[in-house]
């Protein structure tokens, strides 16, 4: 777990004071809303439909129990008793008052958290593989680099007024759990030919109205050059990215218009110049990498046997638990331990929402059954990363009591949904009630199991915050003359084989959408060959069988 | 218009023009700032005046366009047409770090208090303002942060001697090797 | 606060009834311009304008004035929206304005009671 040192503490405290001053100047009328808006956004504060929304960063998706309790405290004290976990390892509060926000930031700073750059046209909270440090397939812990990027990007003097928002994701493993190709910059660690860890640098990914997967512009970037290379990419973008049209301002459009090869050449040229100008500037010395890495050193794991008889007995006697283990528990790199996903997707619930009480209870579980750590995933779920196998049954029973024991991780009801028109100022249609309605169709766990791995994401507008483009089944809410309609895309993938889904046909009305999803599932079950996942069937048979059933005229 | 230079309110002695005809009348009176277009069209004639020269660059004009001529200018002015247009931050760093520009680097346009620190750190040392009142508020912003994470011309050069946080961590905070060579050694992350 | 009502009413086409809304600076709450030219959190208090020219005048006046206010009167993001009249009460027409008026269409936080899974 990364710890602030005296400098980080001082810096974040100064940032809170600065924002307190900015709020006071806004209220006093010294700042206009046009001037204040970029400032509040750089501290994660939006003005939504009914209230302000504060987005708090959970850097690289790792939280301590103390930090989780603070999130609960903020939900209770300044909000309405709950928070919403997002796809990019943030938590959002939907009802804070402007005057309270500096106090909230003070509270966050007391547990080494902040809302710096969770919004605005700057480098956003850098995300990482939620299973960093515990996944068996990892080369190096990506959080080391995410933390270095966090510091480097924090109030960067040159890159705080970019053409548009800028998102970076890092993974240290070949299996991509951080949607790196969906980011402005994705960094994926590989070993180079000499066996040294290095980054594949992918640029120009993004969702929105023009979904594009990031292109690899460098296969093996030595890790020590990470910051200078990022600086080169950002400098090219800051100067050449479009500023005349908000819909064409992301780096993906620049990469597209310049061409991938030409863009890569510009970056390389800029990078060379940075090096020639000040050789070694921005290099990451090994000592510094080691200093940060020490924060993420493996926990003091006990020497446990690989198999747990207690677990095996529970699996034999408790089928509901066995179902949860099957969907929500993954192998740990350490024998005798397991990674447990806490689903924030109870059937009929609001995807990603947790009450203050649930947050507190999860903090307790992290202390009792792990090393005081909780992770936040791309799927808007929580993870207990270090549960001894022998404790899994007890943990699950406690989770069930908390309403957090749903056995649906990775299943069709594990829906990613944005807040949609129930909260969001940009939304055209509601997302949450659609997610609720669909997940209520799949309350039968046997049926969900039968359907297997399937991602279903719902965005309430073209900004695609719920990443519907990279979902197996993507749903996009649109507005047609004041009426909500929902368009379906099929075939998206968010992992290392990322793909953009294709629109299947005309949009559906609100009351038709859950039926349409059931139809899609039925076609899949009909068409699938043994053990095929939804996406494999879709890729084999194509859209036609789905189209025929969805738009059958009789 | 009020001008802050090196942290104090000073009188602006520069004349500014985007018309070559004005250069002919203004140059004998004192230092003149010309736009890139005027400079490109009348380079020889302007040089013939042998007066003190400044150059104004619009947000879309990189200093790379005029790199070979920079030695003719005592001052470069970068325009913030909108405070949200951040291109001039890159241009300022290029001027200071790549082109070695040592003269006055002036920010004009939407120069606001909450952007001042970013500008200083990118190498600006002069700020053209709308009102005197603004000057006071602007200067108040300089000390909001004791240290920053990133090395940048403004935090490692002569303008602002504050160390970066990575440098402080390495105990290099007040040592003398903090200029260009020292900076290179300590991103210095 | 009070907003001077324009004296001259331009003869423009009558459109759907409209009202002026904004978010309160202090807490972001939805507010409506009343016929006393104050802001109220209740849509029932809103001033209904039938004339497009008057409505636009209203809007620009409120926008001009909202910059110079202090304390709880300050608002952000003023705009006009269409309403229909139902026995003298203003009802918003679009889904967005309905949700702004009545709050999220879902139960949330402590009031949300998700169904338990069926095993």
Taking 60 as the threshold, does the pLDDT of residue C53 lie above it? yes
Three-class DSSP category at A118: coil
Residues B42 and B70 reside in one and the same domain? yes
> What chain A residue is nearest to C69 in terms of C-alpha separation?
A29
Q: Are residues B152 and B60 in the same domain?
A: no
Q: What is the domain range of residue B107?
A: 3-144
pLDDT of amino acid A298: 92
User: Among C106, C109, C118, whose Cβ lies nearest the Cβ of A433?
Assistant: C106
Report ipTM (2 d.p.).
Answer: 0.94
B184 pLDDT tier (thresholds 50, 70, 90): very low
Q: Let me know whether B135 and B152 are in one domain.
A: no
Mean pLDDT confidence for A263-273: 97
Q: Do residues B61 and B10 both lie within one domain?
A: yes
Same domain (yes/no): B117, B72: yes
In 3D space, the residue among B90, B133, B80 whose CA is nearest the CA of residue B110 turns out to be B80
**Contact present, A209 and A487 (Cβ < 8 Å):** no
Task: Inform me whether the pLDDT recorded for B83 exceeds 60.
Answer: yes
B24 and B98 in one domain?
A: yes
Domains and CATH numbers, chain A: 6-107 (3.90.480.20), 127-292 (3.30.413.10), 309-401 (3.90.480.20), 416-550 (3.30.413.10)
What CATH number does the domain containing B135 carry? 3.20.20.70
- Looking at chain C, which runs of residues are DSSP E strands? 14-24, 30-33, 39-40, 49-51, 75-86, 89-92
Cα distance between the two ends of chain B:
40
Contact between A173 and A143 under an 8 Å Cβ cutoff? The reply is no
Count each helix (H run) and each strand (E run) in chain B, helices first: 8, 8
What is the arithmetic mean of pLDDT over A458-481? 96
**Interface size between A and C, measured as CB pairs under 8 A:** 115
Predicted pLDDT of residue C67:
52
| Residue A137 contacts residue A156 (beta carbons within 8 Å) | no
Residues B23 and B73 in one domain: yes
Number of domains in chain B: 2
Question: Å from A288 to nearest chain B CA?
Answer: 7
With 80 as the cut, is the pLDDT of residue B17 above it?
yes
Cα A424 to Cα A466: distance, rounded to the nearest angstrom: 13
**Residue B22 structure tokens:** 């004005």
Q: What confidence tens digit (pLDDT) does each residue in A317-354 have? A: 999 999 999 999 999 999 999 999 999 999 999 999 99
> Binning pLDDT at 50, 70 and 90, where does residue A281 land?
confident
- Which of A17, A24, A157, A237 has the most B C-beta neighbours within 10 Å, making it the best mutation to test the interface with B? A157
**Is the same domain home to B58 and B10?**
yes
If we measure between CA atoms, which residue out of A138, A530, A543 comes closest to residue A331?
A138
Mark whether B130 and B159 lie in a shared domain.
Answer: no
At which of B110, B129, B144 does a domain end?
B144
A303: burial class by Cβ within 10 Å (0-12, 13-18, 19+)? Answer: exposed
Q: Do B103 and B176 belong together in one domain? A: no
Interface test with A, best of C108, C110, C111 (most A CBs within 10 A): C108
List, for residues A24-55, the tens digit of each pLDDT value: 999 998 899 999 999 999 999 999 999 999 99
**Least CB-CB distance to B147: which of A7, A22, A243?**
A7
Q: Are residues B184 and B127 in the same domain?
A: no
Residue C104 has pLDDT above 70, yes or no: yes
The interaxial angle of helices A356-368 and A65-78, nearest 10 deg, is: 170
Q: Could you read off the pLDDT of A233-261 as tens digits, one per residue?
A: 999 999 999 999 999 999 999 999 999 99
pLDDT at residue number A277: 83
Beta-carbon contacts of A243 under 8 Å, excluding residues fewer than 6 positions away, are: A163, A249, B85, B87
Given a cut of 50, whether residue B185 has pLDDT beyond it is no
Q: What are phi and psi of A256, to 5 degrees?
A: -65, -45
- Are B120 and B187 in a shared domain? no
> How many alpha carbons fall within 13 Å on the CB side of residue A462?
5
Handedness of CA A44, A49, A52, A54 (dihedral sign): negative
Element (H, E) at C99: helix C95-102
| Residue C70: per-residue pLDDT | 55
């Amino acid at each position: 777990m990364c710890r602030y040192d005296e400098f980080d503490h001082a810096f974040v405290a100064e940032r809170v004071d600065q924002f307190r001053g900015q709020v006071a100047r806004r209220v006093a009328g010294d700042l206009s809303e046009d001037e204040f808006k970029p400032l509040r956004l750089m501290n994660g504060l939006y003005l939504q439909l009914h209230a302000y929304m504060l987005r708090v960063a959970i850097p690289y998706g790792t939280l301590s129990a103390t930090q989780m309790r603070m999130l609960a405290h903020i939900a209770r004290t300044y909000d309405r008793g709950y928070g919403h976990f997002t796809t990019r390892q943030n938590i959002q509060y939907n009802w804070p008052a402007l005057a309270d926000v500096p106090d909230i930031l003070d509270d966050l700073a007391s547990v080494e958290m902040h809302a710096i750059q969770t919004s605005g046209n700057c480098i956003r909270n850098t995300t990482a593989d939620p299973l960093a440090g515990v996944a068996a397939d990892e080369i190096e812990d990506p959080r080391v680099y995410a933390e270095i990027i966090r510091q480097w990007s924090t109030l960067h003097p040159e890159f705080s007024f970019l053409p548009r928002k800028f998102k970076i994701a890092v993974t240290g493993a070949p299996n991509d759990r951080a949607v790196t190709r969906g980011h402005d910059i994705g960094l994926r660690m590989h070993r180079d030919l000499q066996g040294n860890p290095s980054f594949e640098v992918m640029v120009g990914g993004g969702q929105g109205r023009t979904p594009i997967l990031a292109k690899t512009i460098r296969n093996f970037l030595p890790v020590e050059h990470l910051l200078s290379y990022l600086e080169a990419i950002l400098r090219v973008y800051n100067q050449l990215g479009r500023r005349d049209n908000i819909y064409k301002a992301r780096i993906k459009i620049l990469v597209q218009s310049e061409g991938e090869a030409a863009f890569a050449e510009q970056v390389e040229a800029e990078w060379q110049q940075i090096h020639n100008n000040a050789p070694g500037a921005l290099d990451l010395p090994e000592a510094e990498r080691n200093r940060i890495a020490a924060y993420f050193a493996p926990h003091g794991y006990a020497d446990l046997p690989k198999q747990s008889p207690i677990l095996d007995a529970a699996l034999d006697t408790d089928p509901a638990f066995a179902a949860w283990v099957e969907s929500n528990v993954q192998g740990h790199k350490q024998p005798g331990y397991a990674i447990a996903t806490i689903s924030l997707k109870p059937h009929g619930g609001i995807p990603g929402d947790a009450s203050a009480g649930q947050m507190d209870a999860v903090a307790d579980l992290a202390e009792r059954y792990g090393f005081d750590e909780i992770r936040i995933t791309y799927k808007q779920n929580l993870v207990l990363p270090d549960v001894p196998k022998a404790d899994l049954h007890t943990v699950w029973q406690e989770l069930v009591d908390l309403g957090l024991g749903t056995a649906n991780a990775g299943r069709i009801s594990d829906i990613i949904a944005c807040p949609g028109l129930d909260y969001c100022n940009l939304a055209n249609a509601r997302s949450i009630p659609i997610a609720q309605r669909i997940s209520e169709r799949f309350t039968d766990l046997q049926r969900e199991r039968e359907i297997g791995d399937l991602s279903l994401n719902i965005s309430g507008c073209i900004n695609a915050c719920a990443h519907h483009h990279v979902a197996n089944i993507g749903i996009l809410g649109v507005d047609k003359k004041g009426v909500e309609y929902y368009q379906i895309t099929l075939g998206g993938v968010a992992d290392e084989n990322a793909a953009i889904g294709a629109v299947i046909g005309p949009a559906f009305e609100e009351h038709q959408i859950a039926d349409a999803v059931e139809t899609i599932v039925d076609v899949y079950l009909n068409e699938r060959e043994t053990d095929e996942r939804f996406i494999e069937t879709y890729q084999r048979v194509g859209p036609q069988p789905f189209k025929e059933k969805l738009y059958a005229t009789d | 218009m009020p001008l802050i230079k090196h942290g104090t309110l000073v009188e602006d002695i520069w004349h500014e023009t985007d018309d070559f005809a004005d250069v002919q009348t203004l140059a004998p009176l004192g230092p003149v700032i010309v736009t890139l277009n005027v400079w490109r069209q009348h380079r020889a004639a302007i040089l013939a005046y042998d007066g003190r020269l400044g150059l104004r660059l619009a947000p879309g004009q990189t200093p790379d366009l005029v790199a070979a001529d920079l030695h003719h200018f005592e001052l470069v002015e970068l325009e913030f047409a909108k405070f949200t247009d951040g291109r001039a931050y890159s241009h300022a760093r290029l001027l200071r770090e790549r082109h070695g520009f040592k003269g006055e680097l002036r920010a004009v346009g939407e120069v606001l208090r909450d952007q001042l620190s970013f500008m200083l750190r990118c190498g600006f040392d002069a700020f053209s303002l709308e009102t005197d009142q603004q000057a006071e508020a602007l200067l108040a912003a300089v000390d909001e942060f004791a240290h920053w994470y990133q090395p940048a011309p403004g935090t490692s050069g002569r303008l602002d001697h504050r160390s970066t946080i990575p440098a402080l961590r390495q105990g290099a905070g007040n040592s003398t090797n903090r200029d260009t060579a020292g900076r290179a050694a300590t991103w210095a992350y | 606060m009070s907003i001077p009502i324009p004296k001259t009413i331009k003869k423009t086409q009558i459109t759907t009834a409209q009202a002026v809304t904004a978010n309160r600076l202090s807490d972001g709450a939805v507010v409506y311009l009343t016929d006393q030219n104050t802001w109220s959190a209740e849509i029932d208090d809103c001033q209904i304008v039938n004339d497009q020219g008057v409505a636009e005048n209203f809007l620009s006046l409120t926008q001009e004035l909202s910059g110079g206010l202090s304390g709880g009167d300050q608002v952000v993001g003023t705009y006009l929206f269409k309403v229909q009249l139902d026995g003298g009460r203003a009802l918003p027409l679009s889904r967005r304005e309905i949700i702004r008026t009545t709050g999220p269409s879902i139960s949330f936080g402590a009031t949300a009671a998700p169904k338990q899974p069926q095993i």
